[in-house]
Structure formats: structure tokens, C-alpha cells
């Protein structure tokens, strides 16, 4: 079940994320499944073109993680959206410090949502502490799929442990979301270097002064008829 709208003290980054979830729902309504998951996404379009974008809403998982006491940080395009990016996504990337003391909170949250976990090769992994000894575990819940990563991954020269320590926080009313700072997200995008990462890094660097205009334009997507929505949606994904 998706996270309900809340007319409370939600912060601007969370409002941006909720708006993006609504836009994605409009864009994917009636889409035929292709069998592609977020793990199959290409390096240009990204995961908004995969089946995992259908019904995607990361907020229920983020709420459950926070309430379980799991100190995870949102990275990837969900973090980009929270900073004002207009590109949509169909997966949730998470980063945590890998401390075994934190594993229990992650197990609790993912168990509550009946998550399916796999390793990086796609082999199923039981939802227990051993799953979170891996550098990366892939997850799937009813409303979100993605990767849960630690600094043990080969990040090259990226100081991801430092990224965790200086992450930003946003209020979602009754829970808190931690997410990568804009500068650290740009640095991560540039280091990974895929076409979609470089494009999104440029967008992140150019957001000042244009975010309000772009956000107002996003409401148009849900106001058009189904046939037009399909055409606009596909153009938006390919950009």
C-alpha cells in the first residue's frame, strides 16, 4: 500500500518525492509489463522504464526503516528528486554503515514488509542478520525495490563513510528521511559516470533558481488525457 498524502509538517524534499510518485503513477498507468526489473535498466533511460516503476512508492519502506531505528541514507535518484530533480525513477538505493549493531533494525523493517532479498548474483537470501553482512543486498517489497549498500562495496576513491556522516534529513511528518547531500550526490554521480549519472549530475548542479518553475510544470502530466499522457510520459523517460 502506498503512503497516504499528509497535510502536516512535511518538508519540501518530501513533498517533491510525493509529487514524483504521483507523476510516475500517471506515467505508468496502463503500461504493459516487459519483464524488466530495476536491475535490468539501461545506462541511459534508467529504472523509470522498467516494471519496477509500476506502483513504485518508496515512502512506506522509508517510514518502516525509520521507525525500526535503521539509520539508512537514501542515495541515487530518489535523493536527486528530494533535491529537486525532475527525472523519475523506479527504484530506491540505500546506503548504511555496515555496522553489525544496525543489522537487527534492518531485519526488523524488511521483515515487517515481507521483503524478498537476494545477493548481487540474484540468489535468494533469508531476511536475517547474515543478509546484511553482504556489501550489497537487493530487496523487493510491495511498493519498492532496490539496493541496500554499505561502504564495503568497491566505491573507488569515493569517501562514502563521510557521505553518511554529513547526510541531510527531511521530515515526513511522523518519520524522518536521511538522504545524501547535493554535493555528495553530484560527486557520486560523476564517479559512476554512466550517461544517466552524468546527465543527472549536470541537472543537480543547475537546480538553483529553476526548481520552482520545473516543479510547477510537473503538475501538467496528470492533467492530460490518457493518450497524451502516454506520449508525454515516454518522451520524459527517454530524455
Burial group, residue 233, by CB count within 10 angstroms (0-12, 13-18, 19+): buried
Q: What are phi and psi of 86, to 5 degrees?
A: -95, -5
Write down the pLDDT at residue 238.
28
145 bridge partner residues: 140
73 bridge partner residues: 95
Model pLDDT for residues 126-155, shown as the tens digit of each residue = 999 999 999 999 999 999 999 999 999 999
Alpha-carbon distance of 204 to 186, in angstroms, equals 7
| Under 8 Å between Cβ of 63 and 104 | no
Alpha-carbon distance of 158 to 145, in angstroms, equals 24
Closest CA to 105 of 148, 144, 142: 148
Model pLDDT for residues 95-116, shown as the tens digit of each residue = 999 999 999 999 999 999 999 9
* Half-sphere exposure for 8 (CA within 13 Å, toward CB): 10
Considering the chain, what percentage of its residues have pLDDT values greater than 90?
81
- Give mean pLDDT, residues 174-203: 97
Model pLDDT for residues 24-48, shown as the tens digit of each residue = 999 999 999 999 999 899 999 899 9
Write down the pLDDT at residue 8.
56
| Under 8 Å between Cβ of 172 and 59 | yes
The grid coordinates listed for 156 are 573507488
Amino acid at each position: 500500500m502506498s503512503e497516504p498524502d499528509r497535510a502536516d509538517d512535511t518538508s519540501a524534499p518530501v513533498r517533491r518525492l510525493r509529487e514524483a510518485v504521483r507523476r510516475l503513477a500517471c506515467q505508468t498507468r496502463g503500461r504493459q509489463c516487459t519483464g524488466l526489473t530495476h536491475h535490468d535498466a539501461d545506462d541511459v533511460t534508467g529504472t523509470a522504464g522498467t516494471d519496477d516503476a509500476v506502483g513504485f512508492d518508496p515512502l512506506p519502506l522509508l517510514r518502516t526503516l525509520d521507525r525500526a531505528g535503521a539509520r539508512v541514507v537514501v542515495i541515487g535518484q530518489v535523493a536527486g528528486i528530494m533535491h529537486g530533480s525532475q527525472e523519475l525513477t523506479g527504484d530506491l538505493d540505500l546506503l548504511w554503515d555496515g555496522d553489525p549493531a544496525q543489522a537487527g533494525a534492518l531485519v526488523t523493517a524488511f521483515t515487517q514488509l515481507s521483503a524478498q532479498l537476494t545477493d548481487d548474483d540474484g540468489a535468494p537470501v533469508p531476511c536475517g542478520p547474515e543478509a546484511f553482512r553482504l556489501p550489497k543486498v537487493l530487496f523487493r517489497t510491495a511498493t519498492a525495490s532496490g539496493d541496500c549498500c554499505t561502504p564495503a562495496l568497491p566505491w573507488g576513491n569515493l569517501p562514502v563513510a563521510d557521505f553518511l556522516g554529513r547526510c541531510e534529513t527531511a521530515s515526513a511528518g511522523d518519520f524522518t528521511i536521511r538522504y545524501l547531500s547535493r554535493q555528495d550526490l553530484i560527486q557520486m554521480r560523476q564517479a559512476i559516470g554512466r550517461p544517466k549519472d552524468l546527465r543527472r549530475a549536470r541537472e543537480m548542479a543547475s537546480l538553483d533558481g529553476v526548481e520552482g518553475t520545473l516543479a510547477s510544470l510537473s503538475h501538467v502530466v496528470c492533467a492530460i488525457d490518457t493518450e497524451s499522457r502516454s506520449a508525454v510520459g515516454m518522451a520524459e523517460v527517454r530524455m
